[in-house]
Chains A and B, each alone.
Chain A
Amino acid sequence: MMEHSEIKSVVEALIFAADQPVTLAMLKKQFAEELNGTSLDSIIDELNEEYQGSGRAFSITMVAGGYQMITRPEYASWIKQMYHGRTKNKLSQAALEALAIIAFKQPISKAEVAAIRGVNSDGVIKNLLEKRLISISGRAEGLGRPLLYSTTREFLEYFGINDLQELPKPREIEELFKEGKFKDEIIEVLAETPEDEEQAAEASGQDETQAQQPEKAGDGDRTENPSE
């Protein structure tokens, strides 16, 4: 039976030496029976408290389902300077868009990504594959049996999140409708000829936006709409 402090040191060593996030299962496997009910979670907490208390420049974080030692963000500029010229570029807006779509609709085909973005996405997807942020996860049953793509563990690591639940949620269409002054009367309004009666239509329905309140869980994740 190992001492508590010994277990703590071993956990620290394992996470320190790992070249990818260490999962709880991986840690447990190393200890076999010697853990004897010691909670690894609380051991990690203790380590983090010690680091914090003694002013260490790193901490243990949970990412992609495992523990990983990372430097504190305060020291970013120093490390950046050291790695000068070796840091990778950020993803392009196009790549982020494609990733957002794949993350929420996976598994998804290239054509479906392109349909939502309204623009050919072959190049972007090839690039994401090479960066290992997505992988081929199968084929669709439909016409032509197109390849399907899903996000990877590297994707979670890249964005520093533990699982897909931690991604910002896309707002519901209904919510956007509401915001866009969408009304039940939309059909009436739209049935009118566009040019002349436009203004009349706009003026008439301005205040009726409360008509439908979409009941949506997870509203807390909402952020400001960039269009406002």
Chain B
Amino acid sequence: MSYHIQLDTFDGPLDLLLFLIRKNEIDLFDIPIAEVTQQYLEYLDLIKMLDLEGASDYILMAATLIRIKAKMLLPKSPVEDEEEEEDPRDELVRRLLEYQRFKEVSIQMADLEQARRLVWPRRFFDYDLGDDDEPVHWEPDQNYSLFDLMRVFKDVLKKAPTVTEHRVETISVTSEEQMDYLLKELHENNDQILFYETMEKLQNRLVMIVTFIALLELIRRGMVVINQSSVFGEIWIKRK
């Protein structure tokens, strides 16, 4: 168990660096690495104390700063002087700027979020009494991802009877068989079946899992599609 304490000012090493640069009114394109590194390390000590997991990213940045400093201290070879040598700080500046772009956007997005939180749409009503027999609000253009399917499958597994007595038995069922089974079910039910219902019929965890794999395979082969009538509603399996 780790204690995660967010220092609410910083969202990562780049954020901390930008903060230090602003605080010291440093020219972003002429960062005094030694000074910044010094201050950075002071914060790092604090961060290490508070949050071990996230600290690794901060430590990585500290190492980067020190490496840049070391590079800058090395005498330049006179031969290479002809070419335009890249400043070791350039890469860091690029990253800081790229990060700053999105940081700015995220701050403006927080304003949008705030404005939206002042208005309420008409939709927090759920008078549906669970009559999921028919896909009433069929929305064929709503695509639900495999992520949704996995989430629902977790629910199904929770519902599956848990075995209290342990028996070892071989269940000879293959995903090919279960694919045939699913296709047969689809065929007998007008080419669309309910995910929960189909799974519940199986009554055995292993068979359920194999059937789920079979379902994934059918989706992969493009033979069936999944669809949901509403958020958290029933999942429908449909023949393509």
Interface, chain A (partner B; CB < 8 A): 16, 18-20, 61, 63, 68-73, 76, 79, 87, 90-94, 96-97, 99-101, 103-104, 116-120, 129, 132, 135-136, 157-161, 167-171, 173, 176-177, 180-183, 186-187, 189-191, 193-195, 198, 201-202, 223, 225-227
Of the candidates B32, B33, B109, B114, the one whose C-beta lies within 8 Å of that of A99 is B109
Chain B contacts with A in 10-67, Cβ cutoff 8 A: 11-15, 18, 21-22, 27-30, 32-34, 54, 56-57, 61
In contact, B99 and A176 (Cβ under 8 angstroms): no
Chain B contacts with A in 90-131, Cβ cutoff 8 A: 90, 93-95, 97-110, 112-123, 125
The answer for the CA separation of A157 and B230 in the assembled complex, in Å, is 16
Of the candidates A18, A93, A161, A173, the one whose C-beta lies within 8 Å of that of B112 is A161
In contact, A180 and B109 (Cβ under 8 angstroms): no
Which residues of the partner chain B approach A72 to less than 8 Å between Cβ atoms?
Answer: 119
Of the candidates A93, A118, A173, A193, the one whose C-beta lies within 8 Å of that of B101 is A173
In contact, B116 and A104 (Cβ under 8 angstroms): no
In contact, A180 and B29 (Cβ under 8 angstroms): yes
20 pairs of residues in contact across A and B, judged by CB atoms under 8 Å: A19-B123, A19-B230, A71-B119, A72-B119, A73-B118, A76-B118, A96-B107, A99-B106, A116-B102, A118-B57, A118-B61, A119-B12, A158-B116, A159-B112, A173-B97, A173-B98, A177-B97, A180-B29, A182-B28, A191-B85
Which residues of the partner chain B approach A160 to less than 8 Å between Cβ atoms?
Answer: 112, 115-116, 119
Which residues of the partner chain B approach A132 to less than 8 Å between Cβ atoms?
Answer: 231
Distance to closest chain B CB from A175 (angstroms)? 9
Secondary structure at the A interface, as helix, strand, loop or mixed, is mixed
Distance to closest chain B CB from A157 (angstroms)? 8
The answer to whether the Cβ of B89 comes within 8 Å of any Cβ in the partner chain is yes
In contact, A194 and B72 (Cβ under 8 angstroms): yes
Which residues of the partner chain A approach B231 to less than 8 Å between Cβ atoms?
Answer: 132
Of the candidates A96, A180, A191, the one whose C-beta lies within 8 Å of that of B27 is A180
Which residues of the partner chain B approach A79 to less than 8 Å between Cβ atoms?
Answer: 120
In contact, A118 and B72 (Cβ under 8 angstroms): no
Distance to closest chain A CB from B141 (angstroms)? 9
B interface residues, tally (CB under 8 Å): 63
Which residue of A is nearest B27, CB measured?
A: A181
In contact, B116 and A100 (Cβ under 8 angstroms): no
Which residues of the partner chain A approach B30 to less than 8 Å between Cβ atoms?
Answer: 189-190, 194, 198, 201-202
The answer for the CA separation of A186 and B28 in the assembled complex, in Å, is 11
Distance to closest chain B CB from A216 (angstroms)? 13
Which residues of the partner chain A approach B103 to less than 8 Å between Cβ atoms?
Answer: 97, 100, 226
Distance to closest chain A CB from B135 (angstroms)? 15
Which residue of A is nearest B111, CB measured?
A: A168
Which residue of A is nearest B110, CB measured?
A: A96
Secondary structure at the B interface, as helix, strand, loop or mixed, is helix
The answer to whether the Cβ of B147 comes within 8 Å of any Cβ in the partner chain is yes
Known: A90-B117, A195-B34, A198-B32. A118 touches B99 (CB 8 A): yes
Which residue of A is nearest B230, CB measured?
A: A19
The answer for the CA separation of A137 and B90 in the assembled complex, in Å, is 34
Which residues of the partner chain A approach B125 to less than 8 Å between Cβ atoms?
Answer: 19
- For B28, B34, B93, B101, the residue with the greatest tally of chain A CB atoms inside 10 Å of its CB is B101
Which residues of the partner chain A approach B172 to less than 8 Å between Cβ atoms?
Answer: none
Which residue of B is nearest A172, CB measured?
A: B101
Of the candidates B21, B105, B123, B147, the one whose C-beta lies within 8 Å of that of A167 is B105
In contact, B54 and A120 (Cβ under 8 angstroms): yes
- For B84, B95, B97, the residue with the greatest tally of chain A CB atoms inside 10 Å of its CB is B97
Distance to closest chain B CB from A50 (angstroms)? 17
In contact, A16 and B122 (Cβ under 8 angstroms): yes
Which residues of the partner chain A approach B122 to less than 8 Å between Cβ atoms?
Answer: 16, 18-19, 68-70
In contact, B119 and A97 (Cβ under 8 angstroms): no
The answer to whether the Cβ of B134 comes within 8 Å of any Cβ in the partner chain is no
Ranked 6 nearest A-B pairs via Cβ: A119-B12, A190-B87, A160-B116, A118-B14, A96-B106, A76-B118
Of the candidates B90, B112, B118, the one whose C-beta lies within 8 Å of that of A190 is B90
The answer to whether the Cβ of B145 comes within 8 Å of any Cβ in the partner chain is yes
The answer for the CA separation of A202 and B145 in the assembled complex, in Å, is 54
